[in-house]
């Protein structure tokens, strides 16, 4: 905008002309040309914060003055006369339309919406009557363009504004400035701006593209599943407008999440996927290079398009069948891009989430995604939500069965998002609602919803017959003209183009399609790659457990010192002060290192080496078990200090946030973040390991299989506290067995580190290797403070992550008859038993990485025990849980590699099979634990 003021004809002598135009616009936005209306629409409103000044002060002053005069004009006579009473009623009527006009609006193209009585919109409800129609009343805050008007004119304007093709819901917004802004945008043009012929022709061209692709695919591949857009074609001009408009605002990236319906259309007509490539997919010719692949209507895509503000990068997220779960993934990806651009307000990257009506109303993750929208750790400057509302949900749904709310969008009111229900057959209205939505988002940085009310011409998919379950609706649909036909007829009627010209558009599109030409007209054929996230350094590496995670001791100690520094003036709480004091002693070599020290030092060293870190969890600042205290709270004034943000000048971002109490949306968000920020260590920490249950879908559909399905690499780390310590069935197990069950093709790493040095090197390995694979860590609880679970500075500086930890006891290998294999905290119970019972015949070997299973490394350890007779796997988890069923085949393979082949003799020591993860009674827990340790040595 600055540039325009400096360089355009607006500056200097022409300013008066612009002022005059602006004045005109204030009175009647329709009276100025499209481009000027667009421009003025985007100007910050004068009642906004002073920081949103506009550069041309005369215009600003003018606006202020007008605002003042309008306000004074709103002053209602204070006398008690019946006239002034009526005046009050008129103002109430105006507000009633703002509140409830949407219920009367013509938003349903099929006209199936049952009218509801709306007494508030009756004159009589306000003690007004037809007899008052010619009386002049003040218009108050109603943007009618004049201070006084006859009641008839006011009512007509209200009907036109609130009861035509757009049903606006915004009166639930508390902020007056936002409400005023929205009222002005709709009321000043009666929700129907006059678009130029050029603009309308362009809309028709895009509508034709939307319809053209579907009819081509329908004729060439009848009955093949494609989840076509038919009935909701206006979605395409809408997306076109959104992208062009945010581009005009200077945005650089748009990330889109959407389900199946309309996806192929979006890919080809907006993102510019080559039609020939799509057709190859339909013909089954396309072969993926690696992995198992996914169906075509789940595929993502990236491209650049040209807009008035320059090139904009578009990224369509891949997504699974389950609707809605992709929304928080998109948010995470957007936040990563905003962080990369230091775009704290969210001006440069826009998230668009596209929803189905039934899923929007039905899925809990929608609420969770709204809930995160303004929080510090997750906000993205407002999301544009579009509901492709086919009014039927999936196959047999009826509103009475799919929701208890009036609209499928009511959930959005929880964050006071404005909601625009718009008739999908009225492309002009769709364009207007879209423009207001984009402008609102850019102005207020909050979520906004467009409910595109349309229909689904075919069944749930193309092989499905919908009239079996929706006879009445489909009788109507069969007789209903397409949105393109209706719009073309309207443009012909308005003299915008001739019927032949409208038909030519169809022919032209079909020709392009047949020729395999790109049909997204804004596509940039040679895109600026700088707008893409660069993954090249991470591609094409085979999995390896090796990484050089060592560091020069002096440098490491300097960082250790820095991570313990808290400036004077911050009054640290007593227990926290003790933690920091101990860390200083550890750094000075006066105390063995504990978990908190090693973990924090892993972060400090990675930051110093240029890797951003993002650590999110319900209690991640402090750590659920108070071991971390990465965020120090000043006891004097409640302010916070994060030492890891002060490791060195120019260090990368260290982000740590306590999340809100969600797992599903939060884990999905972090997945989205990690798949967009390859250089970073991204960690999600569960409060207790089993909490990930609430996000199982994210684990199944993204974390474990995203690379195989879509080639999307992801280095996300999950810290899941796990261990049997008598805390009952809910807080003992992170369901290790479920992760192991999902492991194949080196898709992720599952580790159970048992020493501070191991977590230090494991976290460093995760980022220092050029490999990006999810890392699932069964992290400790009591081990955080276990006196045996310590390490040395030497081990940190010069060690590595050991996938297998050999026995550390001073055993004579020849005397060893039994090896107990184990993972995690039970090691310390086994070691204690051995030392108490002086069992020198038994070695204890820890498998610290359960997947990919370290066969070679285990073999190297076991082969030293030449007189080995018994091999036991010991776990705390019940027989049907933990690693036993999922990992025993790996152990047997290693046993078979040994000279005295013990494969078939691998024994189990653990809790008996159990429906619940752990016993609820402490006494039962203690007895089970004693028994399983005993079994490991003696059974
Ligand atoms: P985007 O910025 O998301 O559009 O990504 C740009 C390009 O980077 C994509 O077309 C992919 O080739 C690549 N890419 C993006 N994300 C990943 C990922 N998680 N793993 C591997 N490659 C990726």
Residues facing 389 on adjacent strands: 453
If asked whether residues 816 and 791 sit together in one domain, one would say no
Averaged pLDDT for residues 376-403: 88
538: CA distance to ligand 1 center in Å? 11
Residue 13: predicted pLDDT: 53
674: CA distance to ligand 1 center in Å? 11
Pocket test for ligand 1, best of 533, 538, 713 (most atoms within 8 A of CB): 533
CATH number where 265 lies:
3.40.50.970
If asked whether residues 45 and 104 sit together in one domain, one would say no
Determine which helix (DSSP H) or strand (DSSP E) holds 752, and give its type and residue range.
none
What's the whole-number average pLDDT of the chain? 91
For strand 804-805 and strand 818-822, is the pairing parallel, antiparallel, or unpaired? Answer: unpaired
Whose Cα sits closest to atom 3 in ligand 1?
315
Cα–Cα separations (whole angstroms), residue 305 to 34, 251, 271: 23, 12, 8
336: CA distance to ligand 1 center in Å? 13
298: CA distance to ligand 1 center in Å? 15
CATH number where 921 lies:
3.40.50.11610
For residue 627 and ligand 1, the question of a CB distance below 6 A is answered with no
Nearest ligand 1 atom to alpha carbon 538: 21
Nearest ligand 1 atom to alpha carbon 533: 2
Residue 50: predicted pLDDT: 36
Pocket test for ligand 1, best of 335, 532, 748 (most atoms within 8 A of CB): 532
If asked whether residues 179 and 209 sit together in one domain, one would say no
The domain tally of the chain equals 5
Residue 132: predicted pLDDT: 97
For residue 713 and ligand 1, the question of a CB distance below 6 A is answered with yes
For residue 315 and ligand 1, the question of a CB distance below 6 A is answered with yes
If asked whether residues 815 and 792 sit together in one domain, one would say no
540: CA distance to ligand 1 center in Å? 14
702: CA distance to ligand 1 center in Å? 15
**Residue 778: inside a domain:** yes
- Would you place residue 14 in the very low, low, confident or very high pLDDT band (cuts 50, 70, 90)? low
535: CA distance to ligand 1 center in Å? 6
407: CA distance to ligand 1 center in Å? 36
- Is the separation of the CB atoms in 587 and 557 below 8 Å? yes
If asked whether residues 178 and 160 sit together in one domain, one would say yes
| pLDDT at residue 594 greater than cutoff 90 | yes
Residue 184: predicted pLDDT: 96
Nearest ligand 1 atom to alpha carbon 301: 10
Among 135, 161, 187, the domain boundary falls at 187
Angle 690-694-697 from CA coordinates, rounded to 5°: 115
Nearest ligand 1 atom to alpha carbon 302: 4
**Residue 223: inside a domain:** yes
For residue 712 and ligand 1, the question of a CB distance below 6 A is answered with yes
Residue 79: predicted pLDDT: 46
- Tens digit of each residue's pLDDT (9 = 90 or more) over 324-373: 999 999 999 999 999 999 999 999 999 999 999 999 999 999 999 999 99
Averaged pLDDT for residues 387-401: 80
- Is the separation of the CB atoms in 466 and 208 below 8 Å? no
Averaged pLDDT for residues 835-862: 97
For residue 765 and ligand 1, the question of a CB distance below 6 A is answered with no
Residue 300: predicted pLDDT: 82
Averaged pLDDT for residues 45-58: 44
| pLDDT at residue 66 greater than cutoff 70 | no
| More confident: 723 or 292 | 723
- Would you place residue 56 in the very low, low, confident or very high pLDDT band (cuts 50, 70, 90)? very low
Q: What percentage of the chain exceeds 70 in pLDDT? A: 93
Cα–Cα separations (whole angstroms), residue 273 to 253, 287, 315: 17, 17, 12
352: CA distance to ligand 1 center in Å? 18
Cα–Cα separations (whole angstroms), residue 753 to 761, 776, 846: 10, 11, 9
For strand 870-878 and strand 818-822, is the pairing parallel, antiparallel, or unpaired? Answer: parallel
Nearest ligand 1 atom to alpha carbon 315: 4
317: CA distance to ligand 1 center in Å? 10
User: How many Cβ atoms are within 10 Å of 188's Cβ, its own excluded?
Assistant: 22
| pLDDT at residue 733 greater than cutoff 90 | yes
For residue 302 and ligand 1, the question of a CB distance below 6 A is answered with yes
- Tens digit of each residue's pLDDT (9 = 90 or more) over 74-100: 444 444 578 788 999 999 999 999 999
Which string of DSSP letters, residue by residue, matches 473-514?
HHHHHHHPPPHHHHHHHHHHHTTSS-HHHHHHHHHHHHHHHH
Distance separating alpha carbons of residues 54 and 736, to the nearest angstrom: 57
Averaged pLDDT for residues 265-283: 89
| Residues recorded for the chain | 939
User: How many Cβ atoms are within 10 Å of 507's Cβ, its own excluded?
Assistant: 11
If asked whether residues 205 and 251 sit together in one domain, one would say yes
For strand 136-138 and strand 148-150, is the pairing parallel, antiparallel, or unpaired? Answer: antiparallel
Among 798, 825, 845, the domain boundary falls at 798
For residue 336 and ligand 1, the question of a CB distance below 6 A is answered with no
- Tens digit of each residue's pLDDT (9 = 90 or more) over 467-491: 888 888 889 999 999 999 999 999 9
**Residue 414: inside a domain:** yes
533: CA distance to ligand 1 center in Å? 6
If asked whether residues 558 and 420 sit together in one domain, one would say no
Whose Cα sits closest to atom 9 in ligand 1?
302
Averaged pLDDT for residues 217-235: 88
Averaged pLDDT for residues 182-205: 97
If asked whether residues 477 and 499 sit together in one domain, one would say yes
615: CA distance to ligand 1 center in Å? 22
Q: Which residue has 């007189």 as its token pair?
A: 867
349: CA distance to ligand 1 center in Å? 16
Distance separating alpha carbons of residues 696 and 738, to the nearest angstrom: 9
- Is the separation of the CB atoms in 191 and 166 below 8 Å? yes
Distance separating alpha carbons of residues 220 and 218, to the nearest angstrom: 6
If asked whether residues 181 and 287 sit together in one domain, one would say no
705: CA distance to ligand 1 center in Å? 16
Among 187, 213, 236, the domain boundary falls at 187
**Residue 8: inside a domain:** no
- Is the separation of the CB atoms in 355 and 324 below 8 Å? yes
Q: What is the DSSP letter of 615?
A: E
Residue 287: predicted pLDDT: 60
**Residue 861: inside a domain:** yes
For residue 675 and ligand 1, the question of a CB distance below 6 A is answered with yes
Pocket test for ligand 1, best of 267, 302, 772 (most atoms within 8 A of CB): 302
655: CA distance to ligand 1 center in Å? 23
| pLDDT at residue 546 greater than cutoff 80 | yes
For residue 557 and ligand 1, the question of a CB distance below 6 A is answered with no
40: CA distance to ligand 1 center in Å? 37
**Residue 102: inside a domain:** yes
For residue 532 and ligand 1, the question of a CB distance below 6 A is answered with yes
Averaged pLDDT for residues 527-531: 86
**Residue 78: inside a domain:** no
**Residue 543: inside a domain:** no
Nearest ligand 1 atom to alpha carbon 337: 2
Nearest ligand 1 atom to alpha carbon 706: 19
For residue 442 and ligand 1, the question of a CB distance below 6 A is answered with no
Range of 64's domain? Answer: 19-73
182: CA distance to ligand 1 center in Å? 37
259: CA distance to ligand 1 center in Å? 19
If asked whether residues 349 and 375 sit together in one domain, one would say yes
- Is the separation of the CB atoms in 328 and 701 below 8 Å? no
Residues facing 305 on adjacent strands: 312, 523
Buried b (16+ CB within 10 A) or exposed e, 622-659: bbbbebbbbbbbbeeeeeebebbebbeeebbebbbbbb
348: CA distance to ligand 1 center in Å? 18
Positive or negative CA dihedral for 722, 604, 376, 717?
Answer: negative
For residue 291 and ligand 1, the question of a CB distance below 6 A is answered with no
Nearest ligand 1 atom to alpha carbon 534: 8
| pLDDT at residue 573 greater than cutoff 60 | yes
Whose Cα sits closest to atom 18 in ligand 1?
712
If asked whether residues 751 and 651 sit together in one domain, one would say yes
- Would you place residue 18 in the very low, low, confident or very high pLDDT band (cuts 50, 70, 90)? confident
Distance separating alpha carbons of residues 645 and 615, to the nearest angstrom: 13
Nearest ligand 1 atom to alpha carbon 772: 20
Angle 335-314-451 from CA coordinates, rounded to 5°: 80
| pLDDT at residue 54 greater than cutoff 50 | no
For residue 533 and ligand 1, the question of a CB distance below 6 A is answered with yes
If asked whether residues 54 and 89 sit together in one domain, one would say no
Pocket test for ligand 1, best of 712, 748, 771, 773 (most atoms within 8 A of CB): 712
Nearest to 252 by CA among 473, 596, 460, 527: 527
307: CA distance to ligand 1 center in Å? 22
For residue 535 and ligand 1, the question of a CB distance below 6 A is answered with yes
């Amino acid at each position: 905008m600055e540039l325009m003021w400096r360089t355009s004809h607006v500056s200097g002598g022409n300013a008066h002309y612009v002022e005059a135009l602006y004045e005109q616009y204030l009175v009647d936005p329709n009276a100025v040309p499209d481009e000027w209306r667009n421009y003025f629409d985007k100007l910050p409103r004068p009642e906004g914060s002073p920081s949103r000044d506009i550069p041309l002060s005369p215009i600003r002053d003018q606006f202020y003055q007008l605002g003042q005069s309008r306000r004074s004009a709103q002053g209602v006579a204070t006398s008690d006369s019946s006239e002034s009473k009526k005046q009050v009623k008129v103002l109430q009527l105006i507000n009633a339309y703002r509140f409830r006009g949407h219920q009367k609006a013509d938003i349903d193209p099929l006209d199936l919406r049952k009218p509801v009585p709306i007494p508030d919109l009756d004159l009589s409800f306000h003690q007004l009557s037809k007899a008052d129609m010619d009386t002049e009343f003040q218009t108050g805050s109603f943007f009618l363009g004049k201070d006084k008007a006859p009641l008839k004119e006011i009512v007509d304007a209200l009907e036109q504004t609130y009861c035509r093709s757009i049903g606006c819901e915004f009166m639930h917004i508390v902020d007056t400035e936002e409400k005023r802004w929205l009222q002005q945008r709709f009321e000043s043009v009666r929700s129907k701006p006059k678009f130029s012929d050029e603009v309308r022709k362009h809309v028709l061209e895009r509508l034709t593209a939307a319809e053209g692709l579907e009819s081509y695919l329908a004729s060439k591949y009848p009955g093949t599943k494609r989840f076509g857009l038919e009935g909701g074609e206006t979605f395409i001009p809408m997306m076109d407008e959104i992208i062009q408009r945010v581009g005009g605002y200077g945005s650089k990236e748009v990330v889109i999440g959407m389900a199946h319906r309309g996806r192929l259309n979006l890919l080809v007509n907006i993102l510019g996927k080559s039609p020939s490539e799509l057709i190859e997919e339909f013909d089954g010719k396309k072969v993926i290079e690696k992995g198992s692949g996914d169906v075509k209507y789940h595929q993502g895509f990236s491209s650049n398009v040209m807009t008035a503000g320059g090139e904009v990068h578009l990224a369509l997220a891949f997504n699974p069948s389950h609707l809605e779960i992709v929304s928080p993934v998109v948010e995470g990806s957007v936040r990563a891009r905003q962080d990369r651009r230091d775009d704290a307000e969210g001006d440069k990257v826009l998230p668009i989430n596209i929803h189905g009506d039934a899923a929007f109303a039905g899925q809990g993750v929608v609420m969770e995604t709204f809930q995160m929208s303004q929080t510090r750790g997750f906000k993205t400057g407002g999301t544009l939500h579009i509901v492709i509302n086919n009014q039927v949900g999936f196959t047999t749904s009826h509103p009475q069965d799919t929701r208890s709310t009036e609209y499928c969008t009511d959930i959005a009111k929880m964050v006071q998002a404005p909601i625009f229900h718009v008739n999908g057959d009225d492309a002009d209205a769709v364009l207007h609602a879209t423009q207001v939505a984009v402008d609102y988002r850019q102005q207020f940085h909050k979520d906004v919803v467009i409910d595109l009310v349309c229909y689904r011409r075919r069944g749930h998919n193309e092989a499905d017959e919908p009239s079996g379950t929706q006879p009445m609706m489909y009788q109507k649909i069969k007789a209903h003209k397409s949105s393109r036909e209706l719009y073309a007829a309207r443009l012909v009627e308005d003299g915008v183009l001739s019927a032949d010209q409208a038909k030519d558009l169809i022919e032209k599109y079909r020709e392009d399609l047949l020729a395999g030409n790109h049909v997204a007209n804004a596509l940039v054929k040679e895109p600026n790659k700088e707008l893409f996230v660069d993954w090249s350094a991470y591609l094409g590496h085979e999995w390896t457990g090796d990484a050089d995670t060592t560091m020069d001791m002096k440098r490491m100690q300097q960082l250790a010192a820095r991570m313990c520094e808290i400036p004077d003036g911050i009054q640290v709480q007593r227990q926290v002060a003790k933690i920091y004091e101990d860390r200083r002693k550890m750094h000075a070599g006066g105390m063995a290192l504990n978990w908190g020290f090693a973990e924090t030092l892993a972060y400090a060293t990675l930051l110093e080496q240029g890797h951003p870190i993002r650590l999110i969890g319900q209690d991640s600042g402090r750590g659920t078990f108070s071991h971390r205290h990465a965020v120090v709270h000043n006891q004097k004034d409640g302010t916070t200090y994060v030492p890891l943000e002060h490791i060195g000048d120019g260090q990368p971002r260290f982000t740590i946030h306590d999340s809100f109490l969600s797992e599903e949306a939060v884990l999905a968000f972090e997945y989205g973040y990690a798949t967009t920020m390859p250089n970073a260590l991204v960690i999600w920490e569960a409060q207790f390991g089993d909490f990930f249950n609430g996000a199982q879908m994210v684990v199944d559909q993204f974390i474990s299989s995203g690379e195989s399905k879509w080639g999307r690499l992801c280095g996300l780390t999950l810290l899941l506290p796990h261990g049997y310590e008598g805390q009952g069935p809910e807080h003992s197990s992170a369901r290790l067995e479920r992760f192991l069950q999902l492991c194949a093709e080196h898709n992720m790493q599952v580790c159970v580190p048992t020493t501070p040095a191991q977590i230090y090197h494991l976290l460093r390995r995760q980022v220092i290797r050029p490999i990006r694979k999810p890392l699932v860590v069964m992290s400790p609880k009591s081990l955080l403070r276990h006196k045996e679970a310590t390490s040395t500075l030497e081990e940190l500086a010069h060690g590595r992550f050991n996938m297998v930890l050999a026995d550390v006891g001073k055993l004579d290998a020849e005397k060893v008859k039994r090896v107990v294999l184990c993972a995690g905290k039970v090691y310390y119970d086994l070691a204690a038993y051995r030392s108490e019972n002086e069992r020198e015949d038994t070695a204890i070997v820890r498998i610290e990485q359960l997947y990919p299973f370290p066969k070679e490394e285990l073999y190297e350890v076991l082969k030293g025990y030449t007189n080995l007779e018994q091999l036991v796997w010991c776990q705390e988890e019940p027989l049907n849980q933990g690693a036993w069923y999922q990992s025993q085949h790996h152990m047997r393979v290693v046993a078979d590699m040994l000279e005295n082949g013990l494969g078939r003799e691998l024994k189990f020591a653990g809790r008996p099979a159990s429906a619940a993860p752990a016993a609820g009674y402490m006494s039962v827990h203690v007895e089970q634990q004693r028994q399983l340790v005993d079994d490991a040595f003696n059974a």
